[in-house]
Amino acid sequence: MLVELVGLLPNGYQVYVLFDSWYASAKLIKLCRRQRWHVICAVKSNRRLSRKRMDHHNQSLRNQRYQRVTLQALDPSRPKSTYCVRAVQGHLEEVKDEVRGIISKRHPGDRYPKYFVCTDLTLTVQQALHYYQRRWPVEVDNLYLKEALGLGDFRLQSFEATQKWFAVVVLTMNYLQYQAAEAYLREQSVCSLTDVIRQHRLAHWRQFLRQALTQLLRSGNVDATVESLLPAVSWAVT
């Protein structure tokens, strides 16, 4: 997927590829660096930086002062969060370029810190963590794609059919994102995709009720109106 994106990216921009620890392989990091992209990713506690586990770096730095990093949540209505961080530079196994390892704690006594790696040594720790925050909307989108829009529920056999199903689901997602952006421009407030879906469904039911009542007023026959609208009701329920 990353290789397919190469020809679609505009020139003159520094690209940062963000991923969690499940994807933080040396192979993927090297692929990104060959494209002159930088990587900011989470890593597991046993990942080795300069032949030393990240959690062992955490132990060896325990007498050093923390750097306080304050990050604004992506939702402006939520309060800022301050983290206690320490940084160390070194080389990941099988990765030629030097990287910065980041150890982040919610408070000094946090026994389960989070570990990150950033290949762009020109970034401050705060900048690197701020960029990494941009992963969260992707996780939210994945939740909507799988749970609300049915990306994970398809029962198709051929590769071509699967591609078409993915295209339909992603197009639906783009439509919802567009409606959310339109709502923001109108009301100057953030509208969640859940709100967009609810408003979309309400609009359809409003249209259906208007059609039903109009038909009833014209015919005056309740039973005939119900029978004529049953197929639409059955489809909506299904």
DSSP string spanning 19-63? E-GGG--HHHHHHHHHTT-EEEEEE-TT-EETTEEHHHHHHHTTT
Could you tell me the pLDDT band of residue 235, with boundaries at 50, 70 and 90?
low
18 in Cβ contact with 90 (< 8 Å): no
125-153: average pLDDT: 85
pLDDT digits (tens, 9 = 90+) for 190-227: 677 778 888 888 888 888 888 888 888 888 888 877 77
Which is higher by pLDDT, 233 or 200?
Answer: 200
CA 178, distance to chain mean position in Å, is 17
Which is higher by pLDDT, 43 or 230?
Answer: 43
> In this model, does residue 57 exceed pLDDT 90?
yes
pLDDT digits (tens, 9 = 90+) for 95-119: 999 999 999 999 999 999 999 999 9
156-175: average pLDDT: 84
**Residues contacting residue 110 through CB under 8 Å, at least 6 positions apart:** 84
Rg for the chain, CA atoms, rounded: 25
